[in-house]
Amino acid sequence: MGKFVHLHVHSEYSLLDGMCRITDLPKRAKELGMDAIALTDHGVMFGVVSFFEECQKQGIKAIIGCEMYVAPGSRFNKEGRINEDKYYHLILLVKNNQGYQNLIKLVSAGFTEGFYSKPRIDKELLEKHHEGLVCLSACLAGEVNRAILDGDMDKAKEVALWYKNLFGEDYYLEIQNNGLPDQILANQKLIELSRSLDIPLVATNDAHYLRKEDSYIHEILLCMQTGKRITDEDRMRFETNEFYIKSPEEMIDYFEAVPDAIENTCKIADKCNFEFEFGVTKLPNYDVPEGFKTHEEYLRKLCTDGMKERYGENPSQEILDRVEYEFSVISKMGYIDYYLIVWDFIHYAKTQEIPVGPGRGSGAGSIIAYIIGITDVDPIKYNLLFERFLNPERVSMPDFDVDFCYERREEVIQYVTRKYGPDHVSQIITFGTLAAKNVIRSVGRVLDIPLQEVDKIAKMIPNEIHITIDRALEENKELKNLYEENETVHQLIDISKVLEGMPKNASTHACRSCYN
């Protein structure tokens, strides 16, 4: 069997557009006899860590990437009407650690500097952060293809040469097998450009779903994204059902005339050798005051002063032993700085009379956290276990849950940002998902089922946290009977089960993290 690697793939994190679940992608690749597969979600890298982990489980090589939005001019230009001319698509794949660092900088800048309908970068950023990356010219929305379809081959040549000059042998002209008439024309012209400009070809399929038969449900997903119904004539659609994870045989057969485009997928996969390092904790450096040689010495001073304040001049041997034990574990596991960082911003809040919670969760089991003022719960008095928070036999990053006054919380965030720098403080993302009731209502609207009927079905799903449609069918006999007897309800529930749990939107989590 011939070898082929998919290098243009969208997971559920191409929100309401991609339908390939990250848990299923490497399994499908393995089923089809592939050794590697890429993840290239639209403008984001939300799924790359879990994708890497799932690929490891299946013995599949994970290729980390992103389909970027590139502004036609400056990323800072945000004037005029928002339409397709405000950005082009471009595929970037990570070769090594430098490439990963560059890609995350590009993706971040797309949101913080270039966001205009989409998170956009520009060619200035690409010039700064292209090392360690493989670049593919992307789909019909790529700049080269746009020029081709506009009949401007001089422009197409100019753009292709610009990318070739920047990426060198790591730039490829991307041809696809999706059955679109425009794609067939573009493929012909791309092959001509490849031969005349000596730029290698690469075959992809811009996969948005796993199997061909998933195309109809993918149309439902697109309707959710665009607020359309499946019956709307003007709805966004992919026109063909070819945007799936095709087998190597299918791709090789279609591109029989250009075998180098298939071979290059494997060559690119061989170039891409980035792997995540798990278990490596990276924290900002806490600058101890003058007069202290080490971080351990300063934390020890805070502990000595705090013990006197909490337990008086002569604390019991039990307290002294507990402090020594915790200190040795914290030091051995490398979390001295973590305690100092958390102590510092809580100390700041208290000195500014910003209300701080007494502590909750496993962190309240640490006596050192109590005596230095991170928490206000005495673990000795309430017989709380330190090992629930930090355990040398189960190495994991400790996590203090800290509550600040809602009205003045931003002051603490600003303090941490000033102290460690904006590049060391990050917001944590959270995703809204298509939960059982929500997905039933969303699919029902797209299928144009009367609202009253959809509402009746949704209300049959029990009001339980983490309830699934399958569990609802088991628990509610009336729903089960409707599912088995009513064809419309059957279709509604079957489609909803496929889409259930997928992320539908991203937002900012209530907390923030400090990182290096």
The two structure tokens encoding residue 48:
């790359």
Q: Got the DSSP string for 99-165?
A: HHHHHHHHHHHHHHTS-BSB-EE-HHHHHHS-TTEEEE--STTBHHHHHHHTT-HHHHHHHHHHHHH
The two structure tokens encoding residue 343:
């102590």
Contact 39, 51 (CB under 8 A): yes
The two structure tokens encoding residue 280:
């490596």
Long-range pairs of 470-473 with CB within 8 A, sequence gap ≥ 24 = 470/497, 472/436
Residue range 280-323, pLDDT digits in tens: 777 888 999 999 999 999 999 999 999 999 999 999 999 999 99
Q: Got the DSSP string for 417-441?
A: HHHH-GGGEEEEEEEEE--HHHHHH
Average pLDDT over residues 255-260: 97
Kindly indicate the confidence band of residue 83, based on its pLDDT and cuts at 50, 70 and 90: low
Taking the C-alpha atoms of residue 263 and residue 195, their distance in angstroms, rounded to an integer, is 16
CA-derived radius of gyration, the chain? 27
Instruction: Calculate the CA 321 to chain-centre distance.
Output: 44
Residue range 242-252, pLDDT digits in tens: 999 999 999 99
Kindly indicate the confidence band of residue 93, based on its pLDDT and cuts at 50, 70 and 90: very high
Residue range 388-440, pLDDT digits in tens: 999 888 777 888 989 999 899 999 999 999 999 988 888 788 999 999 999 99
Contact 163, 190 (CB under 8 A): no
Residue in the structure block whose two tokens are 């490439």: 99
**pLDDT for position 2:** 60
Residue range 465-499, pLDDT digits in tens: 899 999 999 999 999 999 999 999 999 999 999 99
Q: Answer whether 0.85 is exceeded by the pTM.
A: yes
Kindly indicate the confidence band of residue 516, based on its pLDDT and cuts at 50, 70 and 90: very low
**pLDDT for position 360:** 87
Percent residues over pLDDT 70 in the chain = 97
Nearest to 120 by CA among 98, 141, 147: 141
Residue 16 φ then ψ, to 5°: 55, 30
Task: Report which residue type is found at 159.
Answer: V
Domain boundaries, the chain: 25-212+245-271, 295-429, 435-500
Q: Is the dihedral of CA 243, 174, 267, 14 positive or negative?
A: negative
**pLDDT for position 84:** 53
**pLDDT for position 482:** 95
Residue 286 φ then ψ, to 5°: -90, 120
First to last CA, the chain: 45
**pLDDT for position 17:** 95
Contact 24, 32 (CB under 8 A): no
**pLDDT for position 509:** 75
**pLDDT for position 493:** 97
Strands 425-433 and 171-176 turn out to be unpaired
How many Cα neighbours within 13 Å face the side chain of 111?
A: 11
Residue in the structure block whose two tokens are 């304040």: 309
Nearest to 350 by CA among 408, 285, 393, 434: 408
Q: Which CATH number fits domain 435-500: 3.30.70.20, 3.40.50.970, 2.40.70.10, 1.10.10.1600?
A: 1.10.10.1600
**pLDDT for position 395:** 75
The dihedral formed by the CA atoms of 291, 295, 296 and 300, expressed in degrees to the nearest 10? 60
Nearest to 123 by CA among 84, 80, 161, 179: 161
Q: Tell me 365's DSSP state.
A: G
Percent residues over pLDDT 90 in the chain = 87
Q: Which CATH number fits domain 25-212+245-271: 3.30.300.10, 3.40.33.10, 3.20.20.140, 3.40.50.720?
A: 3.20.20.140
Average pLDDT over residues 448-459: 95
**pLDDT for position 1:** 42
47-51, 356-360, 436-440: segment of lowest average pLDDT:
356-360
Contact 159, 144 (CB under 8 A): yes
Residue range 189-237, pLDDT digits in tens: 999 999 999 999 999 999 999 999 999 999 999 999 999 999 999 998 8
Is the pLDDT at 512 greater than 80? The verdict is no
Q: Got the DSSP string for 443-454?
A: HHHHTT--HHHH
Is the pLDDT at 514 greater than 60? The verdict is no
